[in-house]
A = this chain, B = another copy of it.
């Protein structure tokens, strides 16, 4: 399946990411429809030319017309949706998603899915601290990574198709990982960092700290402003990988504590030189 501009795309769940997909794909000439239970979101998207058509209920004819369906739903709702409405998918349709956890979603969806459609999972690693189609902006993709997350059930054609979706959306870097690799990686670079930020804010209720706070504390806690419903669901769906990353961090942090407690200045300095060297990899 190649990208042909006459193709019709359906986005289910028109939030920040779904809306940003819609903007990019409509600009590229595709016909973009959307389904979202929130009427103001659909109204906003129609009024601002973000989508061509919009619906707040699942219209069989709309689903059947789509060559591509992009799911921007919370993981649990995503599974329920596929169970309830997959009979409407067009034969040969390509299904993808934007879900932030993979192992506990991808295998389940693929196991219940009709054999004549293909689900290829993807994780666009872009976001903002704000939500909704009203804040959507395809420029959030330009500096971001896009991960294609295939299983053994996926065809080479679907993997290639999904890579090219990331490219036409404008992502900076496209990678391919297994669901397990993806979840370990995301447990470390994204979920663990959010737990740390939330925990840091949990350490003190001293409002006056704001008078003494420099950039370090602000940087480490920016992501402590967090959508509790979405992130608790993501954590639960990646529980084992996240616990593993948290335990690894606790061990490394505890080692540093022991070096400090034991006046092991050379040990602390070695840890700092290592972190300085490794952090240089991440400059851009």
Flag whether A214 is at the interface (Cβ < 8 A).
yes
User: Given A195-B256, A202-B252, A145 and B190 touching (CB < 8 A)?
Assistant: no
Flag whether A4 is at the interface (Cβ < 8 A).
no
Contact with B along A244-284 (1 / 0, CB 8 A): 01111110111111001101010011111111101111100
- Whether B202 contacts A265 by the Cβ 8 Å rule is no
Residues facing B in A214-260 (CB within 8 A) are: 214, 216-226, 228-229, 231-233, 235-236, 239, 242-243, 245-250, 252-257, 260
User: Given A145-B214, A268-B228, A198 and B275 touching (CB < 8 A)?
Assistant: yes
Please choose the segment from A24-32, A130-138, A157-165, A205-213 that sits at the chain B interface, where 4 or more of its residues have CB less than 8 A away: A205-213
User: Given A195-B253, A254-B250, A271-B198, A219 and B216 touching (CB < 8 A)?
Assistant: no
User: Given A243-B261, A254-B250, A219 and B219 touching (CB < 8 A)?
Assistant: yes
- Whether B232 contacts A202 by the Cβ 8 Å rule is no
Please pick, from B188, B213, B270, the residue contacting A209 in the complex, using a CB distance under 8 A.
B188
Q: Which residues of A contact B (CB under 8 A)?
A: 125-127, 144-145, 147, 173, 175, 177, 185-186, 188-190, 192-205, 207, 209-214, 216-226, 228-229, 231-233, 235-236, 239, 242-243, 245-250, 252-257, 260-261, 263, 265, 268-276, 278-282
